[in-house]
Amino acid sequence: MPEATITIAEIQPPAQGKKMFTAFDTQGGRWQIWPDKSHLYAAGRTYTIEYQSSNFKGTTYNTITKQLGAQGVSGGGQLTPMAAQHPGPAQIRPPAPAQADDRGEDIFVCGAINNILANPSVNPLLLNEEELKGTVLMLRRVWAATKRGQRGRDDMNDEIPL
């Protein structure tokens, strides 16, 4: 397969009714990216790729089939936009007594959001702020209905004779 080195200027999500993301390089080239691979590319980065060309109604379409490497990215060449923007590990502080009650809820919500965003069928770049807010609020309601509702219930305090 042919190879190319491209610097991505912009990535657009699929048009309505279409499947492929479209990346525009700094030289005016247009590249198609499969949805399950779109998270591997970010605007402003340079990549060495393999691609496949096809013609349809007189137009040539170049589809990226494999990323061979990325320039300016440590760790083997593959980049996810979220990893590129991560400032580093968070500082762990013990919760203040007033916050200790909410710590379990925060851990639950963070874990659930991480699992949702790590799902291969979810593209975090396509989620808008309102969708994320709605998901967090829904998870907080689930926590309240399942965990907080269990506090104070004595039906789990069975005495088992020895």
Q: What is the structure's pLDDT at 125?
A: 77
DSSP symbols for 46-68: EEEEEEEEEEETTEEEEEEEEEE
Residue 16: what residue type? Q
Q: What is the structure's pLDDT at 52?
A: 93
Q: What is the structure's pLDDT at 99?
A: 53
Domains (range + CATH), the chain: 3-83 (2.40.50), 100-150 (no CATH)
Q: Tens digit of pLDDT per residue, the chain (162 long)?
A: 899 999 999 988 888 888 899 999 999 899 999 988 888 888 888 999 999 999 989 988 899 999 888 875 444 444 444 444 445 555 666 655 555 556 788 888 888 888 888 888 878 777 788 888 888 888 888 888 887 555 555 555 566 666
pTM confidence score:
0.45
Q: What is the structure's pLDDT at 30?
A: 92
Q: What angle do CA 109, 114, 117 make, to 5 degrees?
A: 125
Q: What is the structure's pLDDT at 127?
A: 78
157 burial (CB, 10 Å; 0-12 / 13-18 / 19+) is exposed
DSSP symbols for 93-160: -PPPTTTHHHHHHHHHHHHHHHHHHHSTT--GGG--HHHHHHHHHHHHHHHHHHTGGGTT--TT----
How many whole angstroms separate alpha carbon 108 and alpha carbon 60? Answer: 48
